[in-house]
A and B are shown apart, each in its own frame.
Chain A
Amino acid sequence: MPKKIVINDASEEFLRKIIELSGEVITLCDQCGTCSGGCPFVEEMDITPSQLMRKVQLGQQDVLESKTMWLCATCNTCTVRCPRGLDLSKVAEGLRQVVLRQAIDNLDLNNYPKEEIKELPQIAIIAAIRKLTS
């Protein structure tokens, strides 16, 4: 059965919100896939970076349930390669912010083994807290 893509006010509003938060004209993405091809984390992601872009273009809010934005470590490999000059890391940040601003964290250090935390340098801990918690 063909899948129907519905675009309604809510999806348009969602797209607008992510465009605003990221400052990126997401509608410019032409789905070339360059970002997905070079992303060092793509194997771990459930949807590729270019799929993430497409979902945001269509205003599909279930993109927020994907792991992809949490795995994007702002390495900016795609940023310097995107032929449309888009910075996908900012789109991922916008999506993370939508979740984090509802006080839903993606990291709970209380659940980590103490020995593991002790091994970590503060640069890792602070960066993770900054990116993955509200």
Chain B
Amino acid sequence: MKIPYFPGCSLKTSAKNFEISAISSAKVLGIDFVEIPRWNCCGVVSSLSSDDLMHHLAPVRNFVRVLEMNKTKMVENEKRMLTLCSMCYNTLKRSNQRVKNNPEELESINNFMYREEEYDGSVEVIHYLQLLDEIGFSQMTEKVKNSLENLNVAAYYGCMLIRPKEVGIDDAEEPEIFEKFLSALTAKPVAWNAKKRCCGSYLTVNNKDVVVDLAYGILNDARKNGADLIVTACPLCAFNLDNRQKNVLEKHPDFKTIPVLYFTQLMAIAFGLDEKSFGFELNYIKPNDVLKEKVFK
């Protein structure tokens, strides 16, 4: 299956491990991520004011690229745009909904981008977890070479995958798609309280202490409920929960660190891929020890 893929900026920089592990494990499932030519930054956060149309241009431009891919036969009748980063997912999906629901706004944007092909609202933004669910998580189980049955994993949804309701990939209060994913990979999902608590997002820039406290609470909750590691789909959550453990340790010297992985890294591990496709060099807290103990025995 060939599908237009929107990487976003993080997957080419701080979250290269997310992209490498995703693309290589997708191949095992017969999914071919076709990178959207000339994609541009989605804007990271969604602009919420009613009169701010300008910031929805960037997402719409990317939708036009997907239409072009269909025209040039890079993909066959595939107008779904695949995202991995949950912030990109959220921002793109919100813009798409906005212009689909407001034809006059879409017309203004199309007029402004008069050199581009018209966007007709026909692209659908999806997250990789949704695609895997649609194909059937059980397909993954068949490909598992390294059993994760001894691995207790805390699935961290954060905000952008599940909120607001009209954007979320699952129920906003009781999501379970991530746990289903983990079970299909043969891992043991843990039940915990902090799975949909905000990590502090971009406040990590100007309110570091607030984020460090939030991270401390989230990480401890995962530990307390028996998690060996946490998985996420968001490069910003990954920074706040993984890299910020350095700051958590400064504040709480008795804190016990816990690895935070992208969910696709867990796929690459389970599918028995080459270590190169794990990309652990970009994970701050290294998962090697726990994996040696629980997976690669």
Residues of chain A whose beta carbon lies under 8 Å from any beta carbon of chain B: 20-23, 40-41, 44, 71, 73-77, 79-80, 87, 89-90, 93-94, 97, 106-107, 109, 112, 116, 119-128, 130-132
Contact = CB atoms under 8 A, between A and B. Distances in A.
A124 B48 contact: no
Contacts, number: 124
Contacts of B165: 79-80
B9 A127 contact: no
Contact of A77 (B46, B50, B159, B200): B159
Contacts of B41: 126
B49 A97 contact: yes
A130 B43 contact: yes
A80 B51 contact: no
Given A41-B210, A112-B205, 7 more contacts: A21-B50, A75-B201, A76-B163, A77-B159, A93-B47, A107-B206, A126-B44
A121 B239 contact: yes
A53 B243 CA distance: 35
Nearest to A39: B198
B13 A128 contact: no
B134 to A, nearest CB: 24
A127 B45 contact: yes
A91 B57 CA distance: 22
B207 interface: yes
Contacts of B55: 130
A132 B14 contact: no
Interface of B: 9-10, 13-15, 41, 43-52, 55, 85, 87, 159, 163-165, 172-173, 196-198, 200-208, 210, 214, 235-236, 239, 243
Contact of A71 (B205, B207, B236): B207
Contact of B9 (A22, A75, A123): A123
Contact of B203 (A73, A79, A122, A125): A73
Contact of B236 (A23, A77, A97, A121): A121
A21 B164 contact: no
Counting from the closest, the 7 A-B pairs by CB-CB distance are A75-B198, A127-B202, A76-B163, A121-B14, A128-B205, A93-B48, A80-B172
Contacts of B235: 121, 123
Nearest to A108: B206
Contacts of A23: 50
A132 B201 CA distance: 13
A68 to B, nearest CB: 13
Given A93-B48, A97-B49, A79 B163 contact: yes
Contacts of B201: 73-75, 127
Max chain A Cβ within 10 angstroms of own Cβ: one of B87, B196, B204: B204
Nearest to B237: A123
B164 A80 contact: yes
Given A75-B163, A122-B13, A21 B49 contact: yes
B44 A123 contact: yes
A97 B55 CA distance: 13
B39 to A, nearest CB: 15
B48 A74 contact: yes
A87 B41 CA distance: 26
A123 B164 contact: no
A121 B224 CA distance: 29
Contacts of B198: 40-41, 73, 75, 77
Given A40-B198, A77-B198, A128 B14 contact: no
A124 B50 contact: no
A125 B164 contact: no
B164 A76 contact: yes
Nearest to B12: A122
